[in-house]
A and B are shown apart, each in its own frame.
Chain A
Amino acid sequence: MSRKRKNQILNEPPAKLANIEECRLKYMVGEMVLCKSEIDNFFYEAKITAITKSEEGEFFYKVHFKGWKAKYDENVPDSETEFRFKYHTIGNVQNAQEEIKLAKMRKKVGVITNSETLPKQLNMKKLSKFTKMITPDLPPIVIPANSGTCAELPDDILVNIFKYLRREDIDNCRLVCSKWNQAIEKAAYRLPACKIHSVCFNAERDKSIMFKSFSGCFVRFSNLDKDLWQPTRFIFKTSSLESFRIVALSDFPLVDKLQRITKLTNGRIRTDKLVLDIGETIALKWLNKLPQIVQEYISTPNVHLKLLPLTFAYLLTHPEMIYFCPNTQVNIRVKIGSRKGANWIEKNRNALVYFLLGTTVRCAPRYFLDIYLMEIDACLIIEPIVKAFLIIDEPSLFFKQIEIFHDREEISYLKEYGFVLNRSHGQRQIHHLKRPQNDWILEADFHVFDGTIYSMRLSPICVVNENYPY
């Protein structure tokens, strides 16, 4: 289905649902399916135009065949959908079309060969093309009775075969036999995953959504504050989602949002892993309310904040943001990558320090490169309140994560993390800390004064895996 067509469907207003029970049905109004016609038993592209309920309580789908007049519309009872309907996927559509084509050709060829007066000018090439198409392109594999069938095949080989397939095919393979099913289940993490990584739902744009798949991918909801989100319009048939991204920013409280998601997904969605993605456009739109909103989000446990440079920079200019989240467990992911954001930060260095005070910053190093941390350094010297800071000596190296601590027990904390203290220098102590882990080794200098650390210098000794997924 082309994107245009898809949007068209999504934009069509949903027909009125007869009952809330309908959202439990497998198919919904407006959905494209492949439907087996009662007339010739072939699958045609069709659209469900309505769902009705009979007096006996059985649901009927009213199906309109694409490209056919309304008089050919059929009513398909829910109980028959198992064999009458197929999902409208590209593969299914192609198969169905080919079948119809082949059937037509067979008819044609049959007529020609039956007639005694075979026209001389009959295009033999065309005929051979027909026959060629009728014979399946892949002959079946005949397995000799005495030789080992694939039932004895080790799982290893099966997995190796499945590795070539797309997720759709693998899922179908699970239905073949119990052995295959088990092999696939066992090797689930080694087998290809679905291609979709993130899905965006916008309540304003997407009028109704069939939510069938997407295990292990990001889901992003926009405009969640609008009352457009109703459970009847969203059908969730999934069990595991990696995380949610809420993009909508408004004075609509977060707690309500979480409840809404939980409700929408029938409680199947874990809301413990929320990423608040505040993009620049949204940030600008909600400029005045931004600080309050961020504060609200940040004080909710298990919410990850992802801030884009402009948003971040804007927050810095707000004095009320200072000390807004001391010692919270919240992670702020700061993305400092663009020039725009850098300029803002340049102007608001002091605020940046305040912002980082008392928080744990986990950042993707590729966004945290270059001068920005050096800038923090500069302002830390001006600001003696700040106890710990960080300098990246080799900005081109990738860190797994860098943490800035603001705590009296920095050293013990670091020890817990596997750092080793090596030596000290009189009053101004310098500790070399090493984290003996091959993926992330940092050498750290602590400048300790009067028993409190007021600066910390971390430099990487080795490069972590470049493929670190951020």
Chain B
Amino acid sequence: MATESANGVSSPELNERDVVITTNDNRNFTVKIGVARVSKTINNMIQDLGESLDLSSGIPLPNVDGPIFEKVLEWCEEHKNAPEIKVEQDPHTRERKWFTMTEWEEEYFRKFLSHLWDLAMAANYLEIPSLYYYTCQKLAERIKGRTPEQIREMFGIEDDLTEEEKAEIRRTNVWCTY
């Protein structure tokens, strides 16, 4: 965790204070600053506000809705003291190395399986690298080794490619097996 906050209040003390965060459906969440700070977006807001930070009036999050934020908070609570994740990739193929998840994280994603897309979007917006990368990995796990039809069915995507376009993709796609 950061040792010194922008407004001069030492970190452990500030982290224990509460902050109110309002999501776009007007739900208020009272969160410990230490937890909210897992999100870099919120952390920046807190730092930008500095002295003028009025903890009771709250921080608005116009792009996140309540149910999703609730899930994100659960993650933040668990990961408030976690070190930054290291993103590595294969230098030759540029393929990213898969992270190994803890049991808690596996369980977390099992619980919110149907919200992976929303979680990815929220994590991207809130800049929570751990959640963002892990969610993307979970999504990749489901795409891996599947046919386009299976993927479409799984994610409810409409097939808007014409046969000609598909044939063209197949032609240029050297590895395409379907």
Contact = CB atoms under 8 A, between A and B. Distances in A.
Interface string A135-178: 00011111110011111011011001111111111111111111
Interface stretch (A211-219, A247-255, A431-439, A444-452): A211-219
A239 interface: yes
Contacts of A299: none
A212 B136 contact: no
Interface string A395-416: 0000000000000000000000
A190 B98 contact: no
B143 A165 contact: yes
Contact of A172 (B93, B172, B176): B176
B177 A177 contact: no
A174 B169 contact: yes
Interface stretch (B7-15, B34-42, B44-52, B117-125): B117-125
Contact of A149 (B139, B157, B159): B157
5 contacts: A91-B145, A140-B154, A148-B121, A169-B144, A172-B176
A282 interface: no
A128 interface: no
Contacts of B95: 163-166, 192
Contacts of B132: 160
Interface in B129-173: 132-133, 136-137, 139-148, 151-161, 165-166, 169-173
B175 interface: yes
A178 B161 contact: yes
A89 interface: yes
Contacts of B124: 154, 156-157
Nearest to A192: B95
Contacts of A285: none
B90 interface: yes
B100 interface: no
Contact of B177 (A141, A156, A168, A214): A168
B144 A177 contact: no
A26 to B, nearest CB: 10
Interface stretch (A193-201, A321-329, A375-383): A193-201
A467 B156 CA distance: 42
Contact of A92 (B118, B175, B177): B177
B71 interface: no
B93 A164 contact: no
B111 interface: no
A188 to B, nearest CB: 11
A168 B121 contact: no
A270 interface: no
B160 A162 contact: no
A250 to B, nearest CB: 31
B120 A215 contact: no
A176 B152 contact: yes
A86 B93 contact: no
Contact of B93 (A142, A153, A195): A195
A141 B160 contact: no
A43 to B, nearest CB: 12
A87 interface: yes
B165 to A, nearest CB: 7
A191 interface: yes
A5 B147 CA distance: 27
A238 interface: yes
A225 B176 CA distance: 33
